[in-house]
Structure 1
Amino acid sequence: MASKDPQARRMTMEVGFEDYNPFAEPTPTVTASKPPTQPAVMKPTEEPPVYSLARAQETSGAAGDLLRRQEELERKAAELDRREREMQSVRASGGRRNNWPPLPGRFPVRPCFYHDIAVDIPVEYQKTVKNMYYLWMFHTGTLLANLAGSLAWFSVDPTRRVDLGLAVLWFLLLTPCSFVCWYRPIYGAFKNNSSFSFFVFFFVFVWQLGVYAMQSAGIPGWGTCGWLSALMCLKTSPAASALLMAVAALFTALVVASLVMFMQVHAEYRTTGASFQKAQQELAADIMANKTVRASTDAETTRGDFRERI
């Protein structure tokens, strides 16, 4: 309904004309939004980790490592059980009997040592001790081959009787001495975790390496068929020279194998916790445990007490 007051109608027209701006942007029309038909879903802030092939391989590798460790522990436990049963059977039979060298029952000389790597040596060191035993056997075979080479050289050159005699001496002397002086110490070192036995082995085996080097050289007159002896025999008999070269090659291989085993034993020695101080303590304990030394010490103590009383 129109207003009847003309003044009011005029004021309304003036206000509307002043507020009108043809260049102004149209006012947006606000319409009521429709309610959502789907439920609201929140998006995660972090993406889940992708299960890659590398991670699967790492997991399988860790599982395989655990299985290997478990198998090794089971093997060690079985080995310990077997050794315990063997020790019990040995005690029941009245003690261990020496079994090395393996000699016939009717032989007048009895075995001197007890040798059983599977019983005496811990599982983790058995392979090293076996390799050292094989090295000693290789050493013995090389000395025997040296004896055969010296005999062949003497057969074509009778002036080499000194070399033949020394070759016989080296075979008869170095075979048992090498077993007693460096194989038995390393056997006892791993058996008893003895620092003193380790140092005895290192001291003797270093000299043994030097002897092997001189034997491979084959200096004439020393009783060894090395490279120099083979070259000297080449003028007399090529066949004998070939045999001497084969013996020289055995001595050279013996040097290399001994050096490799020395490094391996030294690496194992560093894992046992042995030291020079422990070796000194073991030596002192062995000396004091000797009955003769202990008797002399007690006698000296008794004399000292008697003098003090006087």
Structure 2
Amino acid sequence: MSDFDNNPFADPVNDNPFHDPSVTQVTNSTLDPVDGFNPFPTDSQATHTEPASTFPYQPAVLQPSTEPSPQAIAAAAQANLLRQQEELERKAAELERREQELQSRGVTGKENNWPPLPRNFPIKPCFYQDFSEEIPLEHQRLCKMLYYLWMFHCVTLFLNLLACLAYFTTDPAYGVDFGLSILWLILFAPCSFICWYRPVYKAFKSDSSFSFFFFFFVFFCQVVVFIIQSVGIPKWGNSGWIASLTIIRANKAVGAIMMVVATFFTVCAVLSVILLKMVHSHYRHTGASFQKAQQEFSQGVLSNKTFQSAAATAVSSTAQGN
């Protein structure tokens, strides 16, 4: 009801914006706002500012470009060529070294370890042999026995040489036996290893029918040679039973040495017959056959590079002749 008592024509107090305390404080102030701003402050009123750069201004100068002389270009190119040539020679030497290592390792990719020769020896090993790694467990014992037979045969051939030398000292007429004993040692020791031991090693390793048949053929001939050596026919270079019994009447010491060698040859003959039967028994259990041997032989011959080159040469020569 108090609102009806107010004068409607009086100035409204509550709605006047200039009655706000912040506005009245500014309007009642005696300081001119413009006078409060000093564009040129004194040292005490001045704020801290960063000094301008003290480096003097220098104009950009374009350096003159100097082109290299032809002699310098040729010298740089020659040095680059020499460096590339040295790099190529180094790579060629590295490739040659790796090729020699691969050749020494053979087809298996492993370093050859037989015969066991010193590293500084001029002749390097020719074969890789490891019974526990390459030969199946059921064939390892028999394969080792054949290897020991070959070693025993080599020792017997060496003793045969010494016995024939003693035989030759008692009677110069038996010099032919001494000469033949040297030949048998040089010939039979490596040939027996390559011709019948390595084939049976490969046969047990890869179950090769062709290697089995090759071993049977060569080892049968080796058995015959053992029997002939144990018999000891005079003038054949063997200290067998006939030769030892002949010389024991004239010289008992030499006769005894030759009888020992004859015993060794007899042991070789007996062991060879036993091992031949054992290998044949293992061969029958492996499933090898003559048909497989023929197939392996034909595949090996046709895949041989030497045979292929010889066949190509023969065909070309025939074509040119026609």
TM-score (norm 2): 0.63
Change (3 A) 1:295 1:171: closer
**In the alignment, which of 248, 251, 271 is matched to residue 234 of structure 1?**
248
Match of 2:119 among 105, 117, 122: 105
Residues in 1 aligned to 2:317 and 2:257: alpha-carbon distance in whole angstroms: 67
State how far apart, in whole Å, the 2-side matches of 1:151 and 1:299 are: 51
Superposed displacement of residue 107, structure 1? 1.2
Task: Give the paired residue count.
Answer: 214
1:109-164 CA-partner distances (Å, limit 9, x unpaired) = 11111111111111111111001101111111111111111111112222211100
**Secondary structure of 2:302's match?**
helix
Alignment match, 1:273 = 287
State the match for 2:69 in structure 1: none
Counterpart residue type for residue 189 of structure 1: A
Counting only pairs closer than 5 Å after superposition, residues 9-24 of structure 1 correspond to structure 2 as none
Alignment match, 1:161: 175
Gaps of 5+ in 2: 1-104
Change beyond 3 A, Cα 1:167–1:298: closer
* Counterpart position of 2:213: 199
Between the aligned partners of 1:113 and 1:135, the Cα distance in structure 2 is: 18
User: Counterpart in 2 of 1:132?
Assistant: 146
Q: Name 2:60's counterpart in structure 1.
A: none
Q: Which amino acid aligns with 2:274?
A: V
- C-alpha displacement at 1:232, in angstroms? 1.3
Any conservation in 2 of the 1:157–1:236 contact (CA below 8 Å)? no
Alignment correspondent of 1:40 = none
Equivalent in the alignment of 2:266:
252
1-structure distance, mates of 2:169, 2:317? 68
Shift of 1:294: 3.4
Q: In the TM superposition, what is the alpha-carbon distance from 1:293 to its structure 2 partner?
A: 3.2
Q: Deviations over 1:189-216 (max 9, x none)?
A: 0111100000000000111111111100
The 5 Å alignment of 1:76-155 reads 95-155=109-169
Give the aligned partner of residue 221 of structure 1: 235
Distance 1:290 1:282 in 2: 12
Give the letter for the 1:156 counterpart. T
Is contact 1:163-1:222 (8 Å) kept?
A: yes
Structure 1 residues 292, 172: closer, same or farther in 2, change over 3 A?
A: closer
Please list the CA deviations of residues 75-121 of structure 1 after superposition, one character each: whole Å capped at 9, or x if unmatched: xxxxxxxxxxxxxxxx9xx9301111111111111111111111111
Alpha-carbon displacement from aligned partner over 1:153-180 (angstroms, at most 9, x marks no partner): 1122222111001111101110000000
Closer, same or farther: CA 229–194 of 1 in aligned 2, 3 Å: same
In structure 1, the gaps of 5 or more residues are 1-90
Q: Is the 8 A contact 1:230 1:241 kept in 2?
A: yes
Give 2:308's aligned amino acid: R
Secondary structure at the aligned position of 1:283 is classed as: helix
Q: Aligned partners of 1:303, 1:268: CA distance in 2, in Å? A: 47
Tell me the equivalent position of 2:9.
none
> CA 1:154/1:289 → structure 2, altered by over 3 Å: closer, same or farther?
same
RMSD after superposition: 2.3
- Percent identity of the aligned residues? 50
Q: Does residue 278 of structure 2 align to residue 264 of structure 1?
A: yes
The structure 1 residue matched to 2:187, chosen from 165, 168, 173, is 173
- Report the Cα distance in structure 2 between the residues aligned to 1:108 and 1:300, rounded to whole angstroms: 39
Q: Partners of 2:126 and 2:261 in 1: how far apart?
A: 30
Q: From the two aligned structures, give the one with the greater helix fraction.
A: 1
Query: Structure 1-normalised TM-score?
Result: 0.65
Q: Structure 1 residues 241 and 124, CA, compared in 2 at 3 Å: closer, same or farther?
A: same
Does the Cα contact within 8 Å between 1:215 and 1:226 map onto a contact in 2? yes
